[in-house]
Amino acid sequence: MKIFICEICGEAYLGTEAPSHCPFCGAHQNFLKLDSVASPLTSKAVELSELSQQNLQTALTLEKTATALYICMAHKSDKPGVTAMYHALAKIEHEHANAMARLLDEPKPVIDSAACADDDEANFKKTLALEDNAVQLYQRFAKEATEREVKIFFAGLWQIEADHAALITNLLQ
Ligand SMILES: [Fe+2]
Ligand SMILES: [Fe+2]
């Protein structure tokens, strides 16, 4: 058994080899490093520009909203697989919110409740819109960041949200 640390969220995965995606934040395998060489982006204080602070706040709000919506959507579906998927997505988005709060040097975010539709199809469409919006925003935030850590962080995150968009696109077909 080895210890792999995710450089995006800082969580440890214990296993024989690195998984394809971080089970906590969804980061791609290239962000999972053996603990002897890992250097998580959120483990040390980063001096943030005003723009990065603003962008991280925008992203934090978005992640908190997504978490609350996915918890709602999990409870609306009568399909166990869809419910489990939304619980998994909610955990991942919550992990993103936690990582953003750490970068901003803020306390752990509190997740409020949110209202969502009663049927899966409407919720899938809403999810796709949220994820597509996150991809666009995080691509821009990665470009705008002047801090190495923030640039890599958003580059890792937009890939994760693009994976979510692809997952939902498949469900809508
Ligand atoms: Fe992670
Ligand atoms: Fe996210």
- For the chain, what is the mean pLDDT? 97
Q: Where are the domains of the chain?
A: 2-34, 50-172
pLDDT at residue 43 above 90? no
CA 161 to ligand 2 centroid distance, Å: 6
Give the environment of ion ligand 2: residues with CB less than 5 A.
63, 93, 96
Amino acid 45: pLDDT = 85
CA 89 to ligand 1 centroid distance, Å: 13
Burial (CB < 10 A; 0-12, 13-18, 19+), residue 33, is middle
CATH of range 2-34; options 3.40.50.720, 2.20.28.10, 3.10.150.10, 3.60.21.10 = 2.20.28.10
Q: Do domains 2-34 and 50-172 have the same CATH topology?
A: no
Amino acid 87: pLDDT = 98
Amino acid 48: pLDDT = 96
pLDDT at residue 42 above 90? no
CA 32 to ligand 1 centroid distance, Å: 8
The domain defined by 50-172 folds into: Ferritin (1.20.1260)
pTM as predicted: 0.96
What tokens appear for 126 in the block?
């809403």
What tokens appear for 17 in the block?
């080899």
Q: Cα(28)–Cα(31) distance, rounded to whole angstroms? A: 6
CA 152 to ligand 1 centroid distance, Å: 13
